[in-house]
Structure 1
Amino acid sequence: MASNFLFEANKLLRQHCTNSFATKSERFKTIRLIDRQLVELGFKGVALKGLKTRHVEALIAKWQEDRLNPGTIKNRMAHVRWLSEKINKVGLVSSSNAKLGIENRKYITNNNKGVTLTQMQLNLIPDQHLKMSLRLQTAFGLRREEAMKIQPEKADHGDHLVLDASWCKGGRDRIIPILTEAQRQVLNEAKQLTQGRSLIPAQRTYVQQMKRYENTCIQINLGKGHGLRHSYAHQRYLTLTGFDCPAVSGIRVRRLTTEQKAADKAAREIITRELGHGRIQVTAVYLGS
C-alpha cells in the first residue's frame, strides 16, 4: 500500500502533466525513492505537506555519503524543488545547489563515447520502426524518445527538421538542418514507413516501444544508444571547423590556435542548439575540452 507521501505526490504528478514522458518517469522514480529513503533515515509517516528542510538536508547527506555523482544529486533536487513549488513551499530548499553543499557537475571527461551503427547491427533488428528510429538517431543526433515520437512527415521542412515540443526533452521545439543526401534519404524512407504517423507502431504504446528499444540496444551491443548522439556531434564539429573535436583528437582546446578557438566556440554554440541543450557547457560532454 502506498504511503500518504507517495499517494499525494502521485496526485500532483497526474494534475501537472509534462510534455516529456521521460521527465515524468524520472520524477516519479525520484519521488518513490525519496519516500522510501525518508523511512530508512528514520522519518516515518512524513506527509507531503509536512516535508521540511531537515528532511531534504538528510536526503542530500545520504546521497553524498553514497558517493552519487553531483549531476545525479542535482537532477533529484530539481524534482524536490518541483514538489516544493506544488505544495506552496518554495522556500523549503535553496535554489542554489552550492549553498546546499552540492558540487558542480563534472561534465567534461575528454573520452570519446561515440558509437557507430553498422549494417550488421541493423540486420539483426526485425522491428522496422525501431530500426528506423536508430537510423534517424544516427543521421540527426536525436534522443531516443525523439526518435520514436517524431512524425517524419510533420518534421520535414525541406532543408531542416522541426522537432515538435511534445517530442522533445524539456518541451522545447528544435531545428536540425538537413545537410546531406544520406540525411534526406533516411528521412524519406521514414516518411514512407510511417505514412503520417510516428515511429511508434499503432499496436504499441510508447512505453512498450521504449522497452523494445532498450532490449534491442543491449542485444546488438549498442549500450543505451546515446553514443549515436556523440557521433553526430563529432561529425558536425568536424564539418563546422575542419578539424576533430578534443574528444576525438585528444588535443585540448587550450592548445588550439586563436583562429581554431574561435571556430571551436562557434561550432559548440551551433551543436548545443542542434542537440537540444540550453547551455554550451553541457555539449562538452560530447566534444571534450
Structure 2
Amino acid sequence: MDDLTYTLRQLCQRNRDGSHNTQADRMRSLSLAARQLREAGFRQMKASSLKGKHVQALLDRWQGEGLSSGTIKNRLSHLRWWVEKIGKSGILPADNMQLGVAERRYVTNVSKARELGTGLEQITDVHVRMSLQLQAAFGLRREEAIKFQPSYADRGDHIALKGSWTKGGRERTVPITTREQRDALHAAHRLAGTGSLIPANKTYIQQRHVYDGQCKAAGLSHMHGLR
C-alpha cells in the first residue's frame, strides 16, 4: 500500500463521520483518488500533501472520462471532506459551478410531488405512513418508498437508491438539503432499523397491497404519482 492510501485510511479511521455506508463510500472514493493521482505521476504523497494541482488533475480525468455531473459531485464531496480534515478547505471552492461542474437538478422530484395534507392522519399502517412521508420529502416513487432501507440509503449528504428499487433498475441519488428530509430519515431509521419498510412478515407485493388499500381509503389513491 502506498503512503497516500495508507494515510488516507488513517484519516478515515480517526474521523468516522456519517453512517457505516457513508464511511465505506468515502474510503472507496478516496482510495480511487489516491490510485488515480499515482497514475497521474504524483508520487510520494501523503494525505496532508494535497494541493490544488492534485484536485485539478483528478477533475480533468473525471471530466475526460465523461462521468456524469452527479458522480463527479459525489467524488468532490469526498475531496471536500479530505481537505477539511487536513485544514486546507481553501483548495476547493464551495460552489461546484466554479469548477465547471453543473449542479444536478431534481425538477421532476418537485413537480410530481403533492401535499399529503390530512390524508396522512388516516393512514393506520406505520410502514405505509413512513413510506408516504419519504415520498413527500424526497419525491420517491411508490416502489422506492416501500422497499426503502434507511441503513443502506442514508449516505450523510444524500440518499442512494438501489437499482432493485427503482424504475428501469437504475441506481440514483437524491441530495439531503432540508430539515424535513433529515427528520424523515431519522424516523425511518427508528422504524426499520437495519431492515426495509416492508414488515418482516410480508413480501413486497403484500405490503404494496396494504399501501394501495390504505391510500385509497385515505383519499390518497394516486400517491404513486409522487414518482
**Could you tell me the TM-score, scaled by structure 2's length?**
0.55
**Match runs of 1:230-249 below 5 Å:** 241-243=220-222
* Amino acid of the structure 1 residue aligned with 2:222: F
Deviation at 1:41, TM superposition (A): 1.7
* Equivalent residue, structure 1, for 2:79: 80
* Equivalent residue, structure 2, for 1:143: 149
* Amino acid of the structure 2 residue aligned with 1:104: E
* Equivalent residue, structure 2, for 1:4: 3
**Match runs of 1:64-103 below 5 Å:** 64-103=63-102
* Amino acid of the structure 1 residue aligned with 2:149: R
Instruction: Say whether 1:174 aligns with 2:178.
Output: no
* Equivalent residue, structure 2, for 1:13: 12
Q: Give distance in 2, aligned partners of 1:78 and 1:26.
A: 11
Q: Give distance in 1, aligned partners of 2:215 and 2:59.
A: 38
**Please, what is the CA RMSD of the aligned residues?**
4.2
Q: Are the equivalent residues in 2 in contact too, given 1:9–1:31 (CA < 8 A)? A: yes
* Amino acid of the structure 1 residue aligned with 2:55: V
Deviation readout 1:3-54 (Å, 9 max, x if unpaired):
1111111111111113412111111111111111112222222222111111
Sort the Cα spacing of 1:47 and 1:244 in 2 relative to 1 into closer, same or farther, 3 A.
same
Deviation at 1:102, TM superposition (A): 0.5
Deviation at 1:146, TM superposition (A): 5.1
The answer for unaligned runs of 5 or more in structure 1 is 111-136, 148-169, 191-226, 247-267, 269-286
* Equivalent residue, structure 2, for 1:186: 199
* Equivalent residue, structure 2, for 1:60: 59
The answer for unaligned runs of 5 or more in structure 2 is 110-142, 154-181
* Amino acid of the structure 2 residue aligned with 1:27: R
Q: Give distance in 1, aligned partners of 2:197 and 2:34.
A: 48
Q: Are the equivalent residues in 2 in contact too, given 1:71–1:106 (CA < 8 A)? A: no
Q: Give distance in 1, aligned partners of 2:60 and 2:197.
A: 50
Deviation at 1:240, TM superposition (A): 6.7
Look up the SS of the partner of 1:18 in the other structure: coil
Sort the Cα spacing of 1:146 and 1:61 in 2 relative to 1 into closer, same or farther, 3 A.
closer
Q: Give distance in 1, aligned partners of 2:197 and 2:89.
A: 47
* Equivalent residue, structure 2, for 1:114: none
Deviation at 1:184, TM superposition (A): 10
Q: Give distance in 2, aligned partners of 1:29 and 1:16.
A: 15
* Amino acid of the structure 2 residue aligned with 1:96: D
* Amino acid of the structure 2 residue aligned with 1:174: A
* Amino acid of the structure 2 residue aligned with 1:59: L
Look up the SS of the partner of 2:67 in the other structure: coil
Q: Are the equivalent residues in 2 in contact too, given 1:4–1:45 (CA < 8 A)? A: yes
Q: Are the equivalent residues in 2 in contact too, given 1:8–1:48 (CA < 8 A)? A: yes
Deviation readout 1:96-146 (Å, 9 max, x if unpaired):
111111012254679xxxxxxxxxxxxxxxxxxxxxxxxxx9884422735
**Could you tell me the TM-score, scaled by structure 1's length?**
0.44
